[in-house]
Amino acid sequence: MGRLAKRLELRVGGPGDALDRFEAAWNRRLEGGRALPLAILTLPDLPALLKQLSPARWTLLARLRAAGPLSVYELARQLQRDYKNVHTDVKRLIELGMIERRAEAAVAVAWDVVRAELRLGD
């Protein structure tokens, strides 16, 4: 039997979205349901999402996912980008929970799938 894909959900929305998810999970547990593990990164608006996941960072994630764990130096070499800029991007993606540190100074993508949900209004 294959393992389940580790999935991160990206959402654009306000703090109320997180409260709604918490309330739904709380009610599900009160009714005897099981807790569903969710990994969700919510950003306040589309400009914030695009700032945090710029095309360069998205390319970095794709390369790292395809190559497996790499050092920041090797990642910069493969991307043909300046080490300092790649290091800055890796640091921010670690803070967002999209990349994780591994043994021997390597970094790796923490997810198999990243799914985005963008709402046009309430």
Pairing of β 106-109 and β 70-71: antiparallel
What pLDDT, on a 0 to 100 scale, did the predictor assign at position 49? Answer: 85
Sequence-ordered alpha helix ranges (H) in 1-122: 15-30, 46-52, 55-67, 72-79, 83-96
pLDDT of residue 35: 58
Tell me, yes or no, whether 74 lies in a domain: yes
> Can you tell me the distance from the alpha carbon of 69 to that of 26, in angstroms, rounded to the nearest whole number?
36
Q: Is 70 domain-assigned?
A: yes
DSSP string, 83-117: HHHHHHHHHHHHHHTSEEE-GGGEEEES-SEEEEE
Which domain does 92 fall in, by range?
7-118
Domain of 24, CATH number, reads 1.10.10.10
Would you say residue 75 lies in a domain?
A: yes
Smallest CA-to-CA distance from 63 within 105, 104, 107 is with 107
Evaluate whether residue 107 is within a structural domain: yes
The three-state secondary structure class of 3 is coil
Query: In this structure, is residue 2 part of a structural domain?
Result: no
Dist. CA 5–CA 67, nearest whole Å: 18
Among 46, 77, 83, CA closest to 63: 77
What is the chain's pLDDT, residue by residue, as a tens digit (122 residues)? 445 557 777 777 766 666 666 666 666 667 776 655 667 777 788 888 888 889 999 999 999 999 999 999 999 999 999 999 999 999 999 998 889 998 878 999 988 888 777 766 65
Looking at the 3D structure of the chain, how many domains does it have? 1
Report the predicted TM-score, pTM, of the whole model to 2 decimal places.
0.73
Both structure tokens of 65:
């996912």
